[in-house]
Amino acid sequence: MQHTGTALSSEYDAQLKSKIRLTQKEFSVFNPPALEVFESPSSHFRMRGEFKIWHEKSTGLAHYAMHKPGVPNKPFFVTEFSIGSPTINTLMPVLLAQINSDERLKHKLFQAEFLTSKAGEAVVTLIYHRALDDDWQVKAESLANDLKCHIIGRSKKQKRVIGNDYISEQYTVNGRTYTYQQVETGFTQPNAHVCEKMLNWATGACTDIGGDLLELYCGNANFTLPLSTQFGKVLATEISKTSVKSALTNIEKNGCKNITIARMSSEEFTQALNGERAFRRLKEVDLESYAFSTIFVDPPRAGLDPDTEALASKFDNILYISCNPITLKNNVDAFSKTHDLVKLALFDQFPYTEHRECGALLKRRT
């Protein structure tokens, strides 16, 4: 379905207003300050894209396809992707033409994935139901050269990389530009424009707090790097090995000297901080040397588990980024016994969907 720029903008404005009203209503019980709203571009904002490859029997042609919820076994061909980044939109038709012109690329291909940066760098991942041989490698190398991007081929227990399996993204926060390695299989924020706004909001929210920061769920150090400028020391935890590796790379790449990463879950770290268990992964970390003033959490949709919620409530300042306002509200309700909600933000990471990303800062009442 084609959309004009004006139609997209009008639809976007109406949906954003609805999200604003809903967020204000949900959190009104906490008597919050004015909601800060950070909108998205109305088109070309999504830096990632994943498509099934549908092989049409009557013509033998491959198509990008998606499935609508509740409509099983019926593909909907994707001929344009207006929410995708300009780079994704440039690559899609050229890649599909190459796939359809060469059996080495097309045979048993079932998915294509795009990871792009604001500057136009791209990784294209092609996923197959067959082993990838040297003939595929030769064609994929030619494809990478033609498309001027990195190519990854995946099949069961197999991964072939032409170029890199990551891109570099840059965000400017408080006047400083940070460079991030974003790995193909790692978690990254899909809307780079809104992500940059989130980083600036979070960093600004912590101005003049001081002390040290504990961060849970740090990922590839997306928030960690700019937040580290507001604190004496930062201890950040993450369970994913891929994300920890990228986080360490990003810390070194950006010259951040006051950050320590611990590979462990939030539940494990809660046990360590409460003295319930000792972990060899923390043997180089002197927890007693930290003067934590603030905890920063960016949990999955389920929100904070009860033990992590109890841990967070012990901090004077709780900075919370949430991809699920319902679980955020539940956690804020628990914190409201001891803390006040002093900042509340809505980040429209996912236009044209019901999903909302929110930010909250809570301070202990004196």
- State the catalytic residues: 323, 357
The closest alpha carbon to 61, from 1, 103, 124, 90, belongs to 103
The closest alpha carbon to 332, from 355, 312, 356, belongs to 312
**Are 298 and 321 spatial neighbours (Cβ–Cβ below 8 Å)?**
yes
Residue with tokens 């190398």: 141
Diameter of the chain by CA atoms? 72
Helix, strand, coil percentages for the chain (3-state, nearest 5)? 35, 30, 35
CA dihedral 227, 229, 231, 234 (to 10 degrees): 60
Contacting residues for 275 by C-beta, under 8 A, at least 6 apart: none
Residue with tokens 């972990």: 279
The closest alpha carbon to 104, from 122, 123, 65, 131, belongs to 131
CA distance 171 to 178: 5
Tokens of 297: 């959490």
Residue with tokens 């959190």: 27
At 180, phi and psi to the nearest 5? -120, 135
Classify 151 in phi/psi space as left (phi over 0), alpha (psi -120 to 50) or beta: beta
Numbers of helices and strands, H then E, in the chain: 10, 17
**Are 292 and 211 spatial neighbours (Cβ–Cβ below 8 Å)?**
yes
Residue with tokens 């990228």: 246
